[in-house]
Structure 1
């Protein structure tokens, strides 16, 4: 390993060596010593810090960042745990470079020298503000439609629920699973509509520990019995996942919308939807205008092998009334973004032709949620 470090130090001046791959990578990469001295920086890092490698090697991390940058704490955290640590939207603003943020991962190098490998993924300030204001924008846009939607949906919904109850009375107890599902979903939709009627209300809802796997299991059953009948739904769950802090019915609505969107994008044959959960203890996010950083360790992804989202729509994917469906309203993902934001979480979308993935990061349950 010491040999690799030596190669990284000299890699920019050699045609071969371990640094060759790093030099070709588009994201900034930097290697620090245990004293936070710069040992190596690839060309992308030189451009990121607007400083050549010769000068960088004479500097420490404190020479490159503001005095109270949260990156120092992230490096210390990775060193203390001897494990990778990552944070989203770290403020790397300096008088020289202006305002900017980046996702940063710090990885200890298993070497006696205690080196740390830093990778940066820059995000514009506009992207950060868009995410912070996304839920508020969805609330304002949907507030005007809430009363109309409630009136148009509640009446037929009551009829659907009543019909299901009548059918259930004629069935044997062991044949009532589907009617009970219809009644339960009708009640959940009614509750959702009641909340939509006060969409402009930002009052906090009651939080409880929620088993996210039970939420996803309900979503799968609803999907397989209806709009996703015949679609392969794969579950890749982390069984040790702790409870989520939130509202069960609202979380069902989030993932039901995401699975429905995935189903609509699938090809006629061979369509697959993969639900994955995982625990990412090192992931933090700058939430709110105050800049406080919160831990969002619970990750849920919904991935499909459909046609993908057009790239021109990606920046607006969570805006109200934006849709790729001929008869779509464009409200589903706006509502998803609002609910995830209300839970203190983050949602992202990554899409290329043949694959779309929605990634939801949520906080784990707190002692006061119990």
Structure 2
């Protein structure tokens, strides 16, 4: 169970849940009305400074926090409340023994979103039901939009399920998947979400055969990459995102079950924005690394995890001469019936 504190604009504790009482060894009555930094001590000045910005989101893993004479290692998130400027929700949990070991580091850090799963699923169900009711009253020409609402709610619900088990469960099953259908569906979702003014260009090789992938996971990967690319170039002149597919040879993944897996299908998402901050380019796929002021730094980490689950590879490249940023995915072919594994 995660400890939760509600902080007002002056960083005074206004509410505390039972887990916070247990972790901090204080009752809610004693916590409420106290300034946060009088309750806990932080050795990291960067975190203390970040807490001073009431609009900043914060995620820290393995931070040392002092409570009285006791020091503990905790994972912390701080999220502003959009409906109450200056107010924030702080969640933290004590790091368990071995949780920060090298093995399974990515899986451990990606389990954090699972705490939101229950709270996300309830409103999703309401949205889906409302979409179905609205669809009955719409003209025939507008019903595809309502259908998209229901389809996207279902996809998000499945994504939430996956995020709950990212750290320990098996990957989604893969099957022969039409790559271009998945890309076009992802592009339609991005367009429906708004952010006009950015040109989205398809440059497909129509001869490509099916890939071996999870359709839902592949769409989520593409939605994340196209959305990031659109956001990255949105403020520039003639902003443009190109999604390109092609066949390449010679690329293989790591050995699996004693054999190498060929990855001849390439998908590239390119944008003409300014590119990722140079200091972050070697870390873009790491959890909680982000250059977005409102980002949590989980998008690309999730993308890498989903691509790896499909035995694929993903990489990032900046072409300064051309002024382009490329994210390239390489995927395996679906085996033809009768072809040996």
TM class by shorter-chain length? 0.5 to 0.7
What is the aligned counterpart of 2:329 among 328, 351, 360?
360
Superposition pairs of residues 211-360 of structure 1, within 5 angstroms: 211-268=178-235, 269-287=237-255, 292-352=259-319, 354-360=323-329
The residue aligned with 1:159 is: 126
What is the aligned counterpart of 1:205 among 172, 176, 183?
172
Contact 2:243 2:269 in 1 (8 A): yes
Task: Report the Cα distance in structure 2 between the residues aligned to 1:247 and 1:369, rounded to whole angstroms.
Answer: 21
Task: Report the Cα distance in structure 1 between the residues aligned to 2:338 and 2:130, rounded to whole angstroms.
Answer: 37
Task: Report the Cα distance in structure 1 between the residues aligned to 2:281 and 2:327, rounded to whole angstroms.
Answer: 12
The Cα of 1:136 is off from its aligned counterpart by 4.7
The Cα of 1:138 is off from its aligned counterpart by 2.6
Give secondary structure in 1 for the equivalent of 2:168: coil
The Cα of 1:200 is off from its aligned counterpart by 2.2
Task: Report the Cα distance in structure 1 between the residues aligned to 2:104 and 2:263, rounded to whole angstroms.
Answer: 20
Name the TM-score, length of structure 1 as normaliser.
Answer: 0.60
Give secondary structure in 1 for the equivalent of 2:278: coil
Superposition pairs of residues 138-217 of structure 1, within 5 angstroms: 138-143=106-111, 145-217=112-184
The Cα of 1:173 is off from its aligned counterpart by 2.4
Contact 1:227 1:260 in 2 (8 A): no
Superposition pairs of residues 41-120 of structure 1, within 5 angstroms: none
The 1:164–1:174 alpha-carbon spacing in structure 2 relative to 1, beyond 3 Å, is same
Contact 1:223 1:259 in 2 (8 A): yes
The Cα of 1:159 is off from its aligned counterpart by 2.3
Give unmatched runs, 5+ long, in structure 1.
Answer: 1-133
Q: Which moved more, 1:338-347 or 1:259-268?
A: 259-268
Name the TM-score, length of structure 2 as normaliser.
Answer: 0.64
The residue aligned with 2:96 is: none
Superposed CA offset, 1:151-174 (max 9, x none): 232122222222222221111223
Superposed CA offset, 1:89-131 (max 9, x none): xxxxxxxxxxxxxxxxxxxxxxxxxxxxxxxxxxxxxxxxxxx
Task: Report the Cα distance in structure 1 between the residues aligned to 2:280 and 2:221, rounded to whole angstroms.
Answer: 20
Give unmatched runs, 5+ long, in structure 2.
Answer: 1-101
Give secondary structure in 2 for the equivalent of 1:286: coil
Task: Report the Cα distance in structure 1 between the residues aligned to 2:227 and 2:169, rounded to whole angstroms.
Answer: 27
Greater helix proportion: 1
The residue aligned with 2:4 is: none
Task: Report the Cα distance in structure 2 between the residues aligned to 1:368 and 1:247, rounded to whole angstroms.
Answer: 18
Contact 1:157 1:186 in 2 (8 A): yes
Give secondary structure in 1 for the equivalent of 2:266: strand
The 1:302–1:312 alpha-carbon spacing in structure 2 relative to 1, beyond 3 Å, is same
Contact 1:138 1:335 in 2 (8 A): no
The Cα of 1:180 is off from its aligned counterpart by 0.7
The Cα of 1:142 is off from its aligned counterpart by 1.1
The 1:279–1:136 alpha-carbon spacing in structure 2 relative to 1, beyond 3 Å, is farther
Root-mean-square deviation (CA, aligned residues, Å) is 2.4
Contact 1:135 1:337 in 2 (8 A): no
The Cα of 1:368 is off from its aligned counterpart by 6.6
